[in-house]
Amino acid sequence: MPSSEPLLQVRDLRIAFRLGRQQRFEALKGVSFDVPRNATVALVGESGSGKSVSSLAVMGLLPEQTTLTDPASSIRFGGRELLRLSKAERRALCGKDIAMIFQEPMSSLNPVLTVGYQIGEVLRLHLGMDARQARARTLALLEEVGIPDPAARIDAYPGQMSGGQQQRVMIAMAIACEPQLLIADEPTTALDVTIQQQIVQLLLRLQKQRQMSMLFITHDLGLVAEIADEVIVMRHGEIREAGPAARVFGAPEDAYTRALLHCRPTLDARPLRLPVIADYLEGRVVAQPPQRQRGYAADDENVLVVKNLSKSFWQREGWFGKREFKAVRDVSFTLPRGKTLGVVGESGSGKTTMGLTLLRLHEASGGSAFFDGRDLLALSARDYHAYKRRIQIVFQNPYASLNPRFTVGQILLEPMRLHGIGANDGERVAMALQLLDKVGLPAAAYQRYPHEFSGGQRQRIAIARCLTMRPEVLVCDESVSALDVSVQAQVLNLLQDLQDEFGLSYIFISHDLAVVKYIADQVMVMRQGEVVEQANADELYRNPRHPYTRSLLAAIPRGAGRTSSLEA
């Protein structure tokens, strides 16, 4: 076999899912692409474009209700036709010569087994190592992927590690058998900018050192421009454009590619409304749109005043001792009516804990939070019940926050019934359908279950559920991090429309500093539970004072036409 032949060749791949006895959904419609040896190819596109289906087809992980609709479909790896291999042959190949990093590490790692055992299992299964050899190799892998103190962390459980560390464990597991092809399916979606930068640099270093090929799946075009040699743009199960990354980003030929490149918020502009894909495809984009002014003003009416909010957790130490871990330390801020406070910081900085403590999902260790003249943290459980509807949260993980046994309709109707919203079920159903339309989901979604949707679609359902209660303050905890660029623009526009119409106030927690710059009036930077800097958004991005803030801004991907943070 000539060495110039691509490592992976996909030809005319057509895949459909059976939705019922007679219904089918065509997920891939004749997809063909190559992954050359020792190169990185990026698959980009919106949710439902077929990116992950393509990668799962290569891995042989598609569900049983999947059908190949064309006998001419072919997936060749190293000259072998994967679609003709037996299950045993496919299993031996995948995990050893082809490995995959999945999007959500906590859905892929077993929570009741240590990370060392799970990595060692791959080595024992595919390389025949004994327990001692596997443990020694696991320690080396954990060190290679940058896990601090591997000897101590090898016996940790996934839940005891941060999101970035969990993803590093997934990478260690994937490279354990030195695969020829590494498939990375949205490996940095839920990570903050500094950890994202570290993971990307780690993958690039490993790819170069081990001379792997890499298929990188993402909706973050800024990352693609930095990591990929070649780019494949997909939409609705078809390839719209493909070519070298420099050419695709520098001179995109397809209107859909141009739309993807320009729907992201940038650091140097804040239009009244973000453009969406349809605006570009239908020629509705304004060359120089009016800009929105942001910032707190001296005469703003405060809806929430937080003073010295603190939260500690206690960890067991030895047989009888315990140690205090201060997750949130004396955090103070104000939130005016109709304004947005952006909260940024790395994983473990206390952003989410601060939000959960405000909503009394954690018991505060100290401080106060005055809303409508009442200290929410001092109210009894009965008195606080009346405020639950008025202060809501959109959780970070849509997989864990939606009841898998409820249809979307039941998910949306339940909170309205509990809080007496709507005169009857007919009115509530109409409201639910209207909200689904606002967050970009069809009316048919009302009858479906959460598992039938992509991660981004589930997040839209979670946002719609929260909006059913017509809150006054909304805590958005990474609420758009899992969304592709067009849907992210739709949701940000929706949040802005609701704020303009109803005077809603947002606490917007995010690791995406471009999104925070777009939507926030004021930005609060947290590190290790403390506020290190707080200022109006324009001032903070233009003149960051704290070294930590400068390091966050410097980590923003600068590809795909995104302006350097320190130049904005």
Domain span at 451:
302-567
For the chain, helix (H) and strand (E) counts, in that order, are: 22, 21
Question: What φ, ψ does residue 18 adopt, rounded to 5°?
Answer: -80, 120
Least confident of 224-238, 241-255, 482-496, 554-568: 554-568
| 331 to 13, 138, 195, 334: CA distances (angstroms) | 53, 40, 24, 10
Quote the CA–CA distance of 11 and 566 in Å, as a whole number: 44
Domain final residue pick, 253, 276, 311: 253
Helix (H) or strand (E) holding 475: strand 473-477
| 113 and 157 Cβ atoms separated by less than 8 Å | yes
Residues 214 and 312 grouped into a single domain: no
Quote the CA–CA distance of 423 and 15 in Å, as a whole number: 45
Instruction: Give the model's pLDDT for residue 527.
Output: 93
Mean pLDDT comparison of 264-278, 457-471, 484-498, 505-519, highest-scoring range: 505-519
Residue 8 lies inside a defined structural domain of this protein: no
User: In what side-by-side order are the strands of the sheet with 366-371?
Assistant: 321-336, 302-317, 366-371, 374-375
Closest CA to 15 of 61, 78, 80: 61
Residues 242 and 307 grouped into a single domain: no
Which of residues 394 and 31 earns the better pLDDT score? 31
DSSP 158-177: GGGS-HHHHHHHHHHHHHTT
Residue 124 lies inside a defined structural domain of this protein: yes
Is it the case that residue 177 has pLDDT exceeding 60? Answer: yes
Position 8 confidence tier, pLDDT thresholds 50, 70, 90: very high
Quote the CA–CA distance of 128 and 179 in Å, as a whole number: 16
Is it the case that residue 198 has pLDDT exceeding 70? Answer: yes
Instruction: Give the model's pLDDT for residue 565.
Output: 33
Residues 220 and 354 grouped into a single domain: no
Instruction: Give the model's pLDDT for residue 202.
Output: 86
- For residue 136 the two structure tokens come to 């020694």
Position 559 confidence tier, pLDDT thresholds 50, 70, 90: low
Least confident of 147-156, 190-199, 532-541: 190-199
307: buried, middle or exposed (CB in 10 Å: 19+, 13-18, 0-12)?
middle
Position 277 confidence tier, pLDDT thresholds 50, 70, 90: confident
Residue 72 lies inside a defined structural domain of this protein: no
Residues 249 and 306 grouped into a single domain: no
Question: What φ, ψ does residue 210 adopt, rounded to 5°?
Answer: -95, 0
Residues 310 and 229 grouped into a single domain: no
Residue 258 lies inside a defined structural domain of this protein: no
pLDDT in tens, 310-330: 999 887 777 777 888 899 999
Residues 212 and 311 grouped into a single domain: no
Domain final residue pick, 253, 277, 311: 253
Is it the case that residue 568 has pLDDT exceeding 60? Answer: no
Least confident of 67-76, 114-123, 126-135, 526-535: 67-76
Residues 191 and 91 grouped into a single domain: yes
Over residues 223-246, the mean pLDDT reads 92
Residue 367 lies inside a defined structural domain of this protein: yes
pLDDT in tens, 390-443: 999 988 777 778 999 999 999 999 999 988 888 899 999 999 999 998 887 899
pLDDT in tens, 97-146: 999 998 777 778 999 999 999 999 999 999 999 999 999 999 999 998 88
Question: What φ, ψ does residue 48 adopt, rounded to 5°?
Answer: 85, 5
* CATH number, domain containing residue 169: 3.40.50.300
Residue 176 lies inside a defined structural domain of this protein: yes
Residue 26 lies inside a defined structural domain of this protein: no
Residues 306 and 234 grouped into a single domain: no
Residue 294 lies inside a defined structural domain of this protein: no
DSSP 207-218: HHHHT-EEEEEE
Alpha-carbon radius of gyration of the chain? 24
| 91 and 31 Cβ atoms separated by less than 8 Å | no
pTM: 0.79
Residues 237 and 334 grouped into a single domain: no
Instruction: Give the model's pLDDT for residue 506.
Output: 96
Closest CA to 489 of 287, 279, 275, 272: 275
Mean pLDDT of the chain: 88
Position 190 confidence tier, pLDDT thresholds 50, 70, 90: low
109: buried, middle or exposed (CB in 10 Å: 19+, 13-18, 0-12)?
buried
Residues 235 and 342 grouped into a single domain: no
Residues 234 and 377 grouped into a single domain: no
Residues 44 and 104 grouped into a single domain: yes
**Is 472 in a helix, a strand, or coil?**
coil
Instruction: Give the model's pLDDT for residue 118.
Output: 95
Q: Number of structural domains, the chain? A: 2
Mean pLDDT comparison of 119-128, 153-162, 215-224, 454-463, highest-scoring range: 119-128
Instruction: Give the model's pLDDT for residue 312.
Output: 93
| 523 and 342 Cβ atoms separated by less than 8 Å | yes
Position 562 confidence tier, pLDDT thresholds 50, 70, 90: very low
Question: What φ, ψ does residue 164 adopt, rounded to 5°?
Answer: -65, -40
